[in-house]
Amino acid sequence: MASPATHPPTDSPALAGSQSLGPRPGGSGPELDVEAIRADFPILHQEVNGRPLVYLDNAATSQKPAVVVEAIEGFYRRDNANVHRGLHELSRRSTERYEGARGVVASWLGVEDPGEVIWTRGATEAINLVARSWGDSHLREGDEILLTDLEHHSNLVPWQMLAARTGARLRYLELDDEGELILDDLPRILEGGRVRIAAISQVSNALGTLNPVAEIARQVKAHGGLVLVDGAQGAAHAPVRIPDLGIDFYAFSGHKMCGPTGVGVLWARRELLEAMEPFQGGGDMIDEVHRDHSTWAQLPYKFEAGTPNISGAIGLAEAIRYLNAVGAERILAHEQRLVRRTMKALEAMPGIRLFGPGDPAHRAGVVSFTMEGTHPHDIATILDSEGVAIRAGHHCAQLVMKRYGVAATARASFYLYNTEAEVDRLVESLGTVREIFG
Amino acid sequence: MSGVTLERIEQGFRMMQKWEDRYRLLIQMGRKLEPLDEELKVEENRVQGCASNVWLVSEPTDDDPPRLRFRADSDAHIVKGLVALLLAIYSDRTPEEALQVDAQAILNRLELKGHLSPSRSNGLFAMVERIRALAVAEAASRG
């Protein structure tokens, strides 16, 4: 299999400097050889509506390099069998690749115990697992769950449902005018000592804000609470080292980071997982089954009922290898260069309102905006006619939209394979929108 | 409706060679559409929408047989133009006539193919479904 295209090639020590999350200056490390990277992504090389495709909807889902597609295909062509149960060669191979993938995730997260890595359908299922399995047995009336106005619905609704079941109360960390969390409010929220868990996104999908999760975790934990980080956007766009974050749960999805859909991960500290009840019952998660009760398998299997998404796990591990070889720091720096170029051009366009941090170094790969006299849906429709794919809507983050008094925004989101020329195509197409709406 | 006939609309579109101009025409049609009162833009009249919303109310006429009459609106301009087009297609027809209409074919003819599809989150597909359901209900009520 081809190794990812980078110029010059780097090895994993390139990640060594990426110990903490949160705002950082962009532009570190050598620039990516984007043309070589693009050659690894077959889907990018096509025309849409007569123009070369410009894919700027990466915050919704990323495209997949050929190595990921080939890993999945190769699994089905050569190794497919159910895991953990057969005594035959294919089952042995399948299990080896599947558990090998778990090891890849563990070392990428910087954790030593692969038993702490639970496969899920995605970040959404991972968060629901914690809300159910930890929340139902640990929260009572009067306890508090700390969320933020930046959260994606997948990191809001499971907690609202938990609050309804237990009588716990939801508290919110609010946003300033630039889409950054107001950390000054945190001591006041925490001083009551009732926050049992804080569930916070690493990166906002709607605005791109890089949140200071390590600092929030430090304060929440000092007051006795646990911390879950929703890494659905973060895992793809910012370096992740669990030991440096000081958190208890980390949830992410494969498909936003060059992996396939339908697979994701919950990482949690072993002692928390040991104390939690299973999320779902079924095959593979039991030790002994009796007529009236069962006993549970060891970690991580206790939380993995049923035949898992084997090819998905293998594909995700391949995606992680690919991204690791490019380097998370360099990918973020590249995205921030594109964000800076986009913001500069949009700031010069009349009638454009930009949302989110004014400093591109506080963002990961997202530019959310509106254009006076048009609806974001109109913008996306015209851009599609020119082969430029963006998202328009509330981005499953209606609290963000309410905070800024809009129903929807247009959102361009970048990844390692996007180019400055593509930013220029976006800007040029926005000129067409302006012309058409006059 | 402001009396724009489907025939006039088709004529207009035939004169437009470039897609930009077809969109301009749609936007104009949307701008001419009588806006729906804010108090009618409520959940029960909303047909769908993630990226944009469409609201639809029906007001059958007193004719015998009654004719379907609709008013609709959207918060997105291009969608509002497409809404105006659908109103021209469906309004002032009897339920039986409305059910005969092939809106998809008309949109294809106007080179607006793809806008009327369940995979587009613009509310138009759901709007047509609701119009057809109303036509079926209206026809059934007369037995």
pLDDT digits (tens, 9 = 90+) for A213-254: 999 999 999 999 999 999 999 999 988 999 999 999 999 999
Residue B64, pLDDT score: 80
Residue A418 Cα, gap to closest chain B Cα (Å): 24
Q: B93: which DSSP letter?
A: B
Rounded-to-integer distance, Cα A373 and Cα B76, Å: 10
Question: Which ranges of B3-123 would DSSP assign to H, the alpha helix?
Answer: 6-14, 19-32, 77-90, 95-100, 103-109
User: What are the Cα distances from residue B13, in Å, to B7, B10, B17, B73, B81?
Assistant: 10, 5, 8, 21, 13
Q: What φ, ψ does residue A47 adopt, rounded to 5°?
A: -100, 145
pLDDT digits (tens, 9 = 90+) for A331-368: 999 999 999 999 999 999 999 999 999 999 999 999 99
Residue B125, pLDDT score: 82
- Classify residue A269 by burial, with Cβ atoms within 10 Å: 0-12, 13-18, 19+: middle
3-state secondary structure of B44: helix
Count CB neighbours of A228 within 10 A: 27
pLDDT digits (tens, 9 = 90+) for B1-14: 445 788 888 899 88
Residue A94, pLDDT score: 96
Instruction: Match 């994606």 to its residue by tokens.
Output: A152
Percent of chain A predicted with pLDDT > 90 = 90
More confident residue, A217 or A17: A217
Rounded-to-integer distance, Cα A8 and Cα A167, Å: 55
B50 belongs to the catalytic site: yes
Amino acid symbol at B101: V
Q: What φ, ψ does residue A101 adopt, rounded to 5°?
A: -65, -40
Instruction: Match 């207009």 to its residue by tokens.
Output: B12
pLDDT digits (tens, 9 = 90+) for A98-145: 999 999 999 999 999 999 999 999 999 999 999 999 999 999 999 999
Architecture in CATH for domain A123-253:
3-Layer(aba) Sandwich (3.40)
pLDDT digits (tens, 9 = 90+) for A253-288: 999 999 999 999 999 999 999 999 999 999 889 999
First to last CA, chain A: 51
pLDDT band with cut points at 50, 70 and 90 for residue A19: very low
Q: A318: which DSSP letter?
A: H
Nearest chain A residue to B115 by CA distance is A381
Nearest CB partner across the interface for B23, out of A375, A382, A394: A382
pLDDT band with cut points at 50, 70 and 90 for residue B58: confident
List of chain B residues whose C-beta atoms are within 8 Å of the C-beta of residue A376: 51-52, 76
List of chain A residues whose C-beta atoms are within 8 Å of the C-beta of residue B52: 375-377, 392, 408
Rounded-to-integer distance, Cα B52 and Cα B91, Å: 23
Nearest Cα to Cα of residue A278 among A154, A136, A124: A136
Residue A257 Cα, gap to closest chain B Cα (Å): 24
pLDDT digits (tens, 9 = 90+) for A194-222: 999 999 999 999 999 999 999 999 999 99
Instruction: Match 């993630």 to its residue by tokens.
Output: B50
pLDDT digits (tens, 9 = 90+) for B81-136: 999 999 999 988 999 999 999 988 888 888 887 777 777 767 788 888 889 998 89
| Mean pLDDT value across residues A385-412 | 94
Prediction ipTM score: 0.86
3-state secondary structure of B19: helix
Residue A54 Cα, gap to closest chain B Cα (Å): 19
Spans of all domains in chain A: 123-253, 329-437
Residue A391 has pLDDT above 70, yes or no: yes
Q: A279: which DSSP letter?
A: S
Handedness of CA A311, A316, A322, A324 (dihedral sign): negative
List of chain B residues whose C-beta atoms are within 8 Å of the C-beta of residue A435: 20
Assigned fold of B6-141? Sufe protein. Chain: A (3.90.1010)
Residue A171, pLDDT score: 98
pLDDT digits (tens, 9 = 90+) for B11-38: 998 898 888 999 999 999 999 999 899 9
Count CB neighbours of B87 within 10 A: 24
List of chain A residues whose C-beta atoms are within 8 Å of the C-beta of residue B122: 377, 381
Residue A298, pLDDT score: 93
Residue A30, pLDDT score: 76
Q: In the predicted model, what is the mean pLDDT of chain A?
A: 93
| Mean pLDDT value across residues A292-320 | 96
* Window from A14-18, A52-56, A294-298, A304-308 with minimum mean pLDDT: A14-18
Residue A14 has pLDDT above 70, yes or no: no
Residue B53, pLDDT score: 85
Rounded-to-integer distance, Cα B16 and Cα B23, Å: 10
Residue B1, pLDDT score: 43
Residue A18 has pLDDT above 80, yes or no: no
Nearest CB partner across the interface for A374, out of B24, B50, B77: B77
Length of chain B: 143
Residue A16 has pLDDT above 80, yes or no: no
Amino acid symbol at A223: H
Assigned fold of A329-437? Aspartate Aminotransferase, domain 1 (3.90.1150)
Rounded-to-integer distance, Cα A121 and Cα A263, Å: 4
Residue A29, pLDDT score: 60
pTM: 0.90
Percent of chain A predicted with pLDDT > 70 = 93
Residue B140, pLDDT score: 86
Nearest Cα to Cα of residue A356 among A414, A389, A365, A154: A365
Rounded-to-integer distance, Cα A101 and Cα A125, Å: 19
Residue B41 has pLDDT above 70, yes or no: yes
* H or E, element range at A388: strand A388-389
Q: By the CB < 8 Å criterion, does A231 face chain B? A: no
Residue A279, pLDDT score: 93
Nearest Cα to Cα of residue A96 among A310, A312, A304, A259: A310
Rounded-to-integer distance, Cα A55 and Cα A101, Å: 28
Q: What φ, ψ does residue B27 adopt, rounded to 5°?
A: -60, -40
Spans of all domains in chain B: 6-141
Query: Any residues with CB less than 8 A from the CB of A338 and at least 6 apart, and which?
Result: A365, A414, A418, A419, A420, A423
| Mean pLDDT value across residues A158-174 | 98
Residue burial A246-265, b: 16+ Cβ < 10 Å; e: rest = ebbbbbbbbbbbbbbbbbbb
More confident residue, A64 or B136: A64
More confident residue, A378 or A2: A378
Beta bridge partners of A250: A229, A267
The counts of H helices and E strands in chain B are 6, 3
Tokens of A26: 């962009």
B20 vs A378: CB contact, 8 Å cut-off?
no
Q: A132: which DSSP letter?
A: I
pLDDT digits (tens, 9 = 90+) for A25-44: 334 467 899 999 999 999 99
